[in-house]
Structure 1
Amino acid sequence: MILSRVFRNLHFRFLAGGLLINLGLAVVYHYINGGSPVIPLSELPGFYVQGWPIMLQTFIILYFIYYTVRYFNRRHPADPNSFRRFARELLFVLPAGFALMELFHWVFVTWMLVPEEDTAFLEQKLKMIQTIDVTFLVVVYAFMTAYRIFRFYEQQQLELLAWKRALAQEQYEAARHQLNPELLFSSLDRLEVLVRTDANGAEAFIAELSRTYRGQLEREVPAGTEEAAGLLERSPGHVPARPLSPLRLTLSVIALASLFYPLFFAYIDRNFRFPALLLEFAFTVARLGGIAFICYGSIGLLVQAGSRLPAALRRGAE
């Protein structure tokens, strides 16, 4: 736990990174001065004693670029990757960073540099060191900017993923609480028939319907038409030709029934001479049952009329 906190600490990262960068710069400077990248261990103390301005310059440049990037992040929250932001940032980082490097270069030349006989060669080496320092400034800025852009797009991807997860959760909750109206109305229609004809079958159908809706609420999508058809086909008293949706009688069927119904009872009254009380009893039974046989051509249809057909038939009979 303590080590993880230390490794996540910004100052520890900058100090460790600065030491590694200084080690790399020491190799480069030794190659410029001596012509070999291999640094003898005996020369390392002298490098750190005499080159402390360059080492201090490395740490200051790291902090300078880091806090400059943070400052421009606050200045441009709406357009963090715009061309205007990069132009302003570069116009500040390059001159200010070069001024800091010139300051440490002056300190190094004034207080730490050992004069040499060949001043022209010494001046050439100092210019090479300045070039390396400016390159170091640009590279550090490029790395920090690239890391900032990477973190920016990574955060956007995480936010987009969170939005997608929230949308999927909302769709899942909506699907869980969504009932299939086709299954619902067809089940009620079938249950009405079973209640009148088979009480045990109606009880079994209610239990199976309850299990179907329970399974529907535990899934992401509601029960489809195929499952509704399967449930209704397995129920007692299933009629294969029966549609899933509730029956809606058209005006033509009602008109045909209205004409046929009084003629039927008139024919019975005229030929069989039943008592009027018996005819009234038969009419009442037909009205309560709501079942009419309608013959149209050579097609026989069994129509469950519910509570609406008897009223129409009664008006036709009257």
Structure 2
Amino acid sequence: MLQSKIEINVVKKITGSVHFWLPISGIVFFFLFLASLAFINTGSFRPLLDVHSIIREGFFLLVDMVTSMYFVYYSIQFFNKKFAANTLSIKRYAIEIPVVFLGGFALKSIFYFLFVKLIVIPEANTESLEMRLRNLLAMTHTYLMLTYVVITGFNSFKSMEQRKTQVSRLEKEYAQSRFEALQNQLNPHFLFNSLSILSSLVQINADIAEQFIEKLSKTYRYLLDQREKEWVPLKDEIAFLKNYIFLIQQRYADKLFLDINVHHDESIAYSIIPNTFLVIMEYIINKTSMSVLNPLHIVVSVSEKKALFSYTGQVKEISGNGVLQPFQQLENRYAQINKKIELYTNTNTLENFIVIPLIKNNNE
């Protein structure tokens, strides 16, 4: 088993190396070159059957092809480093193309000179020989340009993919920073509202005020502890929600009720983006009408890797961005991990649903 994994890793390392693919590409181009040259010179591919000639003359041409592959590849790599800030700039190609072609043509001319001196056998029909040599020189230059086009195309595709990945990473980092900034705004706002409620409770009911301070301490501790985290266990977010609902019920009393129908196994099986429940609750409370006669009843449950907030009430318009902006930022944060918060509203039955995606703790 271990030996097999080692062999697989060695194969991957070899096949992933440029020194594997450049010679392979040179060999492929070599056979294409021979086929093209044979057809141009004779109008058929029959010369390819002359194995003796191919072995005698072909080895030199094969070295030429592989050398050209390396020359073009490392020339492009040189310009990638020189124009690292913008690898696809027009200025880069305006310099690179003449350099590669002139250098390549010089390299091809050297190989052509050596080929004529070392390989070519004089023939009685000098006109036919000269024609085939001209075709050879023209074809080697043509395949040099083809080599450049192929490697440049692959390099450009790779650069664009890397740029897409970089843009995606920057967008994710930007969304994360915006969400962290939002969290920093929520915490003082939440504290200010809580202290306003507490100042009233101290005068009315000292026992409730004492409980309120305890719940507020746990709630705010949670907000501070999780602010640097990307994910938190669902059970922690639910514990926060229980403390949070106690605090806000001191403000809304019989106008607001919350039921949490989440089993322990479900709460420990998933994770969620921190502060999600705080943003959702703020959104629902500010977006829905409530009164003693028609209280806002919110039910929280978990089903199929999703947390569901269901509530019945008349949806109202919200003025300003104080509530909408945090919710939109939360939507953007989930969008960055290719997940979506879903909203469902039935104007006839006044039934509303908010569905939040969860992350399975074992990454399923």
**TM-score, length-normalised on structure 1?**
0.59
Is 1:72 the counterpart of 2:72 in the alignment? no
Q: Distance in 2 between matches of 1:154 and 1:102?
A: 36
Moved more, 91-100 or 67-76: 67-76
Instruction: Indicate how the Cα distance of structure 1 residues 232 and 6 shifts in structure 2: closer, same or farther if over 3 A, else same.
Output: same
Q: 1:7 aligns with which of 15, 38, 49?
A: 15
Instruction: Indicate how the Cα distance of structure 1 residues 197 and 77 shifts in structure 2: closer, same or farther if over 3 A, else same.
Output: closer
Q: Distance in 2 between matches of 1:204 and 1:86?
A: 71
- Cross-structure match for 2:118: 111
- Cross-structure match for 2:137: 130
Q: What's the CA shift for 1:3?
A: 0.8
Pairwise mapping of residues 226-305 of structure 1 onto structure 2 (< 5 A)? 232-234=251-253
Q: What's the CA shift for 1:4?
A: 1.2
Q: What's the CA shift for 1:126?
A: 2.5
Q: Distance in 2 between matches of 1:212 and 1:235?
A: 22
Q: What's the CA shift for 1:12?
A: 1.9
Q: 1:37 aligns with which of 24, 31, 45?
A: 45
- Cross-structure match for 1:47: 54
Is the partner of 1:20 in helix, strand or coil? helix
Q: Distance in 2 between matches of 1:80 and 1:117?
A: 52
Instruction: Indicate how the Cα distance of structure 1 residues 181 and 7 shifts in structure 2: closer, same or farther if over 3 A, else same.
Output: closer
Instruction: Indicate how the Cα distance of structure 1 residues 161 and 43 shifts in structure 2: closer, same or farther if over 3 A, else same.
Output: same
- Runs (5+) with no aligned partner, structure 1: 242-318
- Runs (5+) with no aligned partner, structure 2: 1-8, 231-240, 256-290, 293-364
Please list the CA deviations of residues 118-173 of structure 1 after superposition, one character each: whole Å capped at 9, or x if unmatched: 43333333222222211111111122223333333333333333322322332333
Higher alpha-carbon Rg:
1
- Cross-structure match for 2:146: 139
Q: When the two structures are aligned, how many residues end up with a matched partner?
A: 234
Report which of the two has the higher share of helix. Answer: 1
Instruction: Indicate how the Cα distance of structure 1 residues 11 and 233 shifts in structure 2: closer, same or farther if over 3 A, else same.
Output: same
- Cross-structure match for 2:258: none
Instruction: Indicate how the Cα distance of structure 1 residues 231 and 178 shifts in structure 2: closer, same or farther if over 3 A, else same.
Output: farther
Question: Would you say the 8 A contact 2:69–2:147 is kept in 1?
Answer: yes
Aligned-pair identity (%): 29
Question: Would you say the 8 A contact 2:26–2:66 is kept in 1?
Answer: yes
Q: Distance in 2 between matches of 1:50 and 1:17?
A: 19
Instruction: Indicate how the Cα distance of structure 1 residues 129 and 189 shifts in structure 2: closer, same or farther if over 3 A, else same.
Output: same
**TM-score, length-normalised on structure 2?**
0.53
Question: Would you say the 8 A contact 1:6–1:12 is kept in 2?
Answer: yes
Whichever residue aligns with residue 12 of structure 2, its letter is S
Question: Would you say the 8 A contact 1:27–1:38 is kept in 2?
Answer: no
Please list the CA deviations of residues 204-225 of structure 1 after superposition, one character each: whole Å capped at 9, or x if unmatched: 54566567657766699xx9xx
Question: Would you say the 8 A contact 1:51–1:108 is kept in 2?
Answer: no
Q: Distance in 2 between matches of 1:106 and 1:184?
A: 84
Is 1:22 the counterpart of 2:34 in the alignment? no
Cα RMSD between the aligned structures? 3.7
Q: 1:121 aligns with which of 119, 128, 148?
A: 128
Q: 1:98 aligns with which of 96, 101, 105?
A: 105
Please list the CA deviations of residues 39-84 of structure 1 after superposition, one character each: whole Å capped at 9, or x if unmatched: 76x6335302222221111111112112222333444445544434
Moved more, 111-120 or 6-15: 111-120
Instruction: Indicate how the Cα distance of structure 1 residues 119 and 142 shifts in structure 2: closer, same or farther if over 3 A, else same.
Output: same
Q: Distance in 1 between matches of 2:93 and 2:34?
A: 31
- Cross-structure match for 2:301: none
Whichever residue aligns with residue 108 of structure 1, its letter is F
Question: Would you say the 8 A contact 1:187–1:232 is kept in 2?
Answer: no
Q: What's the CA shift for 1:25?
A: 1.7
Is 1:85 the counterpart of 2:104 in the alignment? no
Report which of the two has the higher share of strand. Answer: 2
Q: Distance in 1 between matches of 2:151 and 2:115?
A: 27
Instruction: Indicate how the Cα distance of structure 1 residues 48 and 231 shifts in structure 2: closer, same or farther if over 3 A, else same.
Output: farther
Q: What's the CA shift for 1:116?
A: 4.4
- Cross-structure match for 1:314: none
Instruction: Indicate how the Cα distance of structure 1 residues 207 and 13 shifts in structure 2: closer, same or farther if over 3 A, else same.
Output: same
